[in-house]
């Protein structure tokens, strides 16, 4: 641990509190997390230098700055690599191709990522507790509509931006085109290798005939 232990522990306590309060609103996620109980995940971040040990329990998630015991999965990398894993649509591919260094069993880590990525909180419960059944439900409906509109708008904006960059402005090639290109390059590389070995074989045969 590089930062002051008091500060580090305080940060862990604050994050753990916030995370577990959020999990209280997501009973399904908590049930799924309980399936990973007693697994310990070590996250070593190089930049910034930080170590976090994460242990799912039946009550939520335990975050620790230090852990002296068996680790199920240890992951090392920069903060940006971890962010990529958290937001990845295909986390397994991100783990293999990304900048993260993995030790131990990857399956529980992918399961944890899936559980947290599908976190579905019941925001209506605390609103109903605070405002009552009718008003709470109305507020929740409004928030849901606003969130739905926000999600749709952001998806639409991302799609249009993607289309503009790839198709209209032709600033960068589309992903499929790029993958085709890489495949062609790989194929070409293989053919060159085969041609080179064939040429060597022919040269050796020629040398034998001359000798």
Partner 1 sequence: MSEKDTTHFGYREVDKSDKAGMVADVFHSVASRYDLMNDLMSGGIHRIWKRFTIELSGVRKGHAVLDIAGGTGDLAARFSEIVGDTGRVVLADINDSMLQVGRDKLLDKGLQGNLEFVQADAQYLPFPDESFDCITIAFGLRNVTDKDLALRSMLRVLKPGGRLLVLEFSKPDSELLSKAYDAYSFRVLPLMGRLVANDSDSYQYLAESIRMHPDQDTLRDMMEDAGFTRCEYHNMTGGIVALHKGVKA
Write out the residues near partner 1 by the rule CB under 8 A.
4-6, 9-10, 12-13, 38, 59, 64-69
Q: Which is nearer to partner 1, 53 or 82 (CB)?
A: 53
Query: Which residues are bridge partners to 64 per DSSP?
Result: 53
**Smallest distance from the beta carbon of 20 to partner 1, in angstroms?**
13
Q: Which is nearer to partner 1, 4 or 207 (CB)?
A: 4
Q: Report whether 53 contacts 64 (CB < 8 A).
A: yes
**Smallest distance from the beta carbon of 58 to partner 1, in angstroms?**
10
**Smallest distance from the beta carbon of 13 to partner 1, in angstroms?**
6
Dist CA 158 CA 172 (whole Å): 15
Burial of residue 99 (number of CB atoms within 10 Å: 0-12, 13-18, 19+): middle
Q: Which is nearer to partner 1, 9 or 106 (CB)?
A: 9
Q: Residue 56: which residues within 8 A CB-CB, separation 6 or more? A: 33, 34, 36, 37, 39, 62, 112
Query: Which residues are bridge partners to 45 per DSSP?
Result: 50, 77
**Smallest distance from the beta carbon of 97 to partner 1, in angstroms?**
34
Q: Which is nearer to partner 1, 67 or 123 (CB)?
A: 67
């Amino acid at each position: 641990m590089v930062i002051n232990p008091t500060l580090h522990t305080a940060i862990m306590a604050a994050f753990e509190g916030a995370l577990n309060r959020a999990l209280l609103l997501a009973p399904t996620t908590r049930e799924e997390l309980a399936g990973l109980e007693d697994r310990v995940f070590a996250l070593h971040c190089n930049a910034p230098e930080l170590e976090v040990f994460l242990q799912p329990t039946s009550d939520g998630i335990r975050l620790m700055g230090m852990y002296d015991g068996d680790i199920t999965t240890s992951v090392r990398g920069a903060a940006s690599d971890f962010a990529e894993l958290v937001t990845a649509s295909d986390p397994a591919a991100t783990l293999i191709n990304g900048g993260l260094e993995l030790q131990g069993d990857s399956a529980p880590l992918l399961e944890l990522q899936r559980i947290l990525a599908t976190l579905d909180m019941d925001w209506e419960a605390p609103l109903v507790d605070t405002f009552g059944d009718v008003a709470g439900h109305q507020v929740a409906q409004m928030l849901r509509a606003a969130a739905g509109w926000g999600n749709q708008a952001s998806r639409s904006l991302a799609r249009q931006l993607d289309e503009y960059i790839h198709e209209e402005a032709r600033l960068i090639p589309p992903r499929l085109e790029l993958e085709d290109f890489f495949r062609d390059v790989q194929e070409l590389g293989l053919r060159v290798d085969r041609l080179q070995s064939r040429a060597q074989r022919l040269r050796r045969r020629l040398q034998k005939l001359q000798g």
